[in-house]
Structure 1
């Protein structure tokens, strides 16, 4: 038997023989996996900077995500970005200058 297998077998046997370790191991192996009572809320984040000029293709895709995903879809734009993110003012100024 290779040394690594022998060492691993020794370790397993040692752990099994430890009276203070086995109750802890048994609590993990005997418990059923539980789902959280309340599922975590999942978001889909989309950014389209110019709120007033969203192309119909993009708007249709956003609406489709809202209908089909089962998740809350949040569209970030120049009017609401600071409600969701902390963005340095120099970055916002550059975005507004370019657009």
Structure 2
């Protein structure tokens, strides 16, 4: 419940450079920043916005950056599957694929 309230508060700020990350998102983001060898990812922080997955942050020099993804982009497909209705964990799992 606190997480939802914090998300609402941050969204009300209406600043494209201000985002709220829950504990899990923050952990993944910190791993990306450290360049941990056991982390698989594309170098983007995502969230669920309405029914879609949204790019909230791109790490410069990452695969997401190289692919031209930008902040506030909506991810509508991963592979051949639509992302509408996926939660963040499901989307991350599909983006990363098998280890």
TM-score (norm 1): 0.24
Structure with greater strand share of residues:
2
Could you say which structure has the greater relative contact order, defined with CA pairs below 8 angstroms and 6 or more residues apart?
1
Which structure: greater helix fraction? 1
Larger radius of gyration: 1
Q: TM-score, normalised by structure 2?
A: 0.24
